[in-house]
Amino acid sequence: MLQGKTIVLGVTGGIAAYKAAALCSALVQKGAEVRVILSSSSRQFIQPLTFQALSRHHVIVDTFEEKDPSVIAHIDLADRADLVVIAPATANVLAKAALGLGDDMLTTTLLATQAPVMVCPAMNVHMYQHPAVQKNMQTLKERGVLFVEPGEGFLACGYTGKGRMAEPEAIVEAIISQFEVKKDLVGKRVLITAGATREAVDPVRFFTNRSTGKMGYALAEAAQARGAQVTLISGGSNPLARPDGVEWIPIESAEDMYQAVMSRADEADIIIKSAAVADYRPAVIYDQKMKKKEGNLTIELVRTKDILRQLGEQKLAHQVLVGFAAETENVEENAMKKVHVKNLDFIVANNVAQVGAGFGTDTNIVSLYDRNGLLLSLPQLSKREVSDRILDEAIVRFEGKK
């Protein structure tokens, strides 16, 4: 089930470290390549040789243990990982991760990896309930860290309560679920717009906005991975790689976007308009570069076509139409107005002034609204994770129209 996946298993200093040995063995049996990092305190409970025998790989215990001079160990390990799992995750390592500290092999690897991170807390019930620990866990959840919740029962310290590390079988199930790719869009056509349009003033200058297209490209990748036939209409001149297996249509202006979208709209089952299309364009486009003159310059702007509104007006009975609202104030009010005026199934709204939610970031913080109000409010997640949550809702809507 986990064939071809590299899982970095970080073991920290708690009595539940003995369960990590069973977890390591189970992952290897499922086909995973397991690379183990032991913290210094974990070695008070369990020895590296145990994990070396189970994983059939050298166990890393020291940041400065560089056995291969061609690579830097913690960077190489971070790059190899498909998933980083910390089991058990003590209060101490949760605090370090929340603060972004990197003072040993495990925490430096956490800072360097781009892979998803899953933590399995284990500690005394009162430690688990401490406000600082709860705040650290919330911080990590907001960054997209996955949690396998501890169980309740008799603890090694003698207390009874929540704090027991989840059983290895439950953790393995959570890991497998993380790698399962849904194929619920097979046979569906998904049309996605991304990026910014550019409205020419002359051959040199243009008006545009800050959108990079990252959200739309993440949506295209997620939809394609779930089996959809995806058309991505992309504005702007950006360095984003074209998603594999996706029909990619580059455009320049709002008019280009309008023509590309409207000519393909009737073929789509789900339309997601994440592009930041200019609301206005210059009334006159000069054939030659405008020369600088004394005094101020006034450029008349005229409205562009409202693509989303027209899509809503001519939406077919089976279609799902999703809009985006990038706002800086009154997010809910503005989002709800667009849902009604543009006849959307739902809208994805965010406050682009928030750190981690603006243009050009790899993360987003969004809320979904339909005609009845708030559907879902998400913490800060990667744009790929946000994409899957949007697609989950779009599929529910699509199935409901059959």
Q: 283-300, pLDDT tens digit by residue?
A: 999 999 999 999 999 999
Torsion, Cα of 307, 377, 246, 320 (10° steps): -50
Mean pLDDT of the region 251-270: 97
Residue 113 — very low, low, confident or very high, per pLDDT cuts 50/70/90?
A: very high
Per-residue pLDDT at 205 exceeds 70:
yes
Per-residue pLDDT at 73 exceeds 80:
no
- Other CB atoms within a 10 A radius of the CB of residue 47 amount to 13
Question: What confidence score (pLDDT) does residue 19 get?
Answer: 95
Mean pLDDT of the chain: 92
Q: Where are the beta strands (DSSP E) in 263-334?
A: 270-273, 280-282, 301-303, 320-327
The pTM assigned to this predicted structure is 0.63
Mean pLDDT of the region 61-78: 79
Q: In what order do the strands lie in the sheet with 320-327?
A: 247-250, 229-234, 189-194, 270-273, 320-327, 346-351, 367-370, 373-377
Output the DSSP codes for 114-155.
-S-EEEEE---HHHHHSHHHHHHHHHHHHTT-EE---EEEE-
CATH 3.40.50.1950 maps onto the chain at 6-179
Residues 6+ apart with CB under 8 A from 97: 86, 107, 110, 117, 119, 136, 140, 145
User: Among this protein's residues, is 24 annotated catalytic?
Assistant: no
For residues 13 and 44, the answer to whether their CB atoms sit within 8 Å is yes
Strand partners, 36: 9
Strand 160-164, strand 151-154: pairing = antiparallel
Yes or no: is domain 6-179 CATH 3.40.50.1950?
yes
Packing angle of the helix pair 168-179, 17-29 (nearest 10 deg) = 50
CATH 3.40.50.10300 maps onto the chain at 189-400
Question: What confidence score (pLDDT) does residue 384 get?
Answer: 86
Question: What confidence score (pLDDT) does residue 238 get?
Answer: 66
Residue 16 — very low, low, confident or very high, per pLDDT cuts 50/70/90?
A: very high
Per-residue pLDDT at 69 exceeds 90:
no
Q: How much of the chain exceeds pLDDT 90, in percent?
A: 75
Question: What confidence score (pLDDT) does residue 101 get?
Answer: 95
Rounded CA separation 11/27 (Å): 14
Per-residue pLDDT at 237 exceeds 70:
no
User: What fold does the segment set 189-400 form as a domain?
Assistant: Rossmann fold (3.40.50)
Question: What confidence score (pLDDT) does residue 137 get?
Answer: 92
Rounded CA separation 156/153 (Å): 10
Q: How much of the chain exceeds pLDDT 70, in percent?
A: 99
For residues 87 and 19, the answer to whether their CB atoms sit within 8 Å is yes
Active-site residue (options: 15, 72, 157, 376): 157
- 162 vs 198, higher pLDDT: 198
Q: Is 176 helix (H, G, I), strand (E, B) or coil?
A: helix
Phi and psi angles of residue 219, each rounded to the nearest 5 degrees, phi first? -60, -40
